[in-house]
Chain A
Amino acid sequence: GQQVMQIPQYQHVQEGEDFTTYCNSSTTLSNIQWYKQRPGGHPVFLIQLVKSGEVKKQKRLTFQFGEAKKNSSLHITATQTTDVGTYFCAGIDAGGTSYGKLTFGQGTILTVHP
Chain B
Amino acid sequence: DAGITQSPRYKITETGRQVTLMCHQTWSHSYMFWYRQDLGHGLRLIYYSAAADITDKGEVPDGYVVSRSKTENFPLTLESATRSQTSVYFCASSRELNYNEQFFGPGTRLTVL
Q: Do A and B come from one complex?
A: yes
The complex places the Cα of A1 from the Cα of B59 at a distance, in Å, of 9
Measured between beta carbons, the chain A residues less than 8 angstroms from B103 are 45
**A100-B97, A101-B58 given as contacts; is B42 within 8 A of A6 (CB)?**
yes
Residues of B within 8 A of A (CB): 33, 35, 40-45, 48, 56, 58-59, 90, 92, 97-99, 101-107
Residues of A within 8 A of B56 (CB): 99
Which residue on chain B has the smallest CB distance to residue A1? B59
Q: Name the distance in Å between B9's Cβ and chain A's nearest Cβ.
A: 11
Q: Please choose the segment from A12-20, A56-64, A74-82, A103-111 that sits at the chain B interface, where 4 or more of its residues have CB less than 8 A away.
A: A103-111
Is A43 an interface residue, CB under 8 A from the partner? yes
Provide the residues of chain B in CB contact with A105, threshold 8 Å. 42
Which A residues are CB-close (under 8 A) to B41?
106
Report the Cα distance A101→B32, complex, angstroms. 11
A33: nearest residue on chain B (CB-CB)?
A: B101
Chain A residues near B90: list those with CB within 8 A. 42-43
Q: Determine the distance from Cα of A106 to Cα of B41 in the docked complex, in whole angstroms.
A: 5
Contact B44 A102 (CB under 8 A): no
* Minimal beta-carbon separation of A21 from chain B (angstroms): 12
Q: Among A9, A44, A100, A103, which residue has its beta carbon within 8 angstroms of that of B104?
A: A44
Docked complex Cα distance between A44 and B3 (Å): 13
Q: Given the complex of chains A and B, what is the CA–CA distance between A33 and B40 in angstroms? A: 19
Given A33-B101, A50-B99, A43:B106 Cβ within 8 A:
no
Bound-complex Cα distance A41 to B104 (A): 10
Bound CA span A103–B106, Å:
20
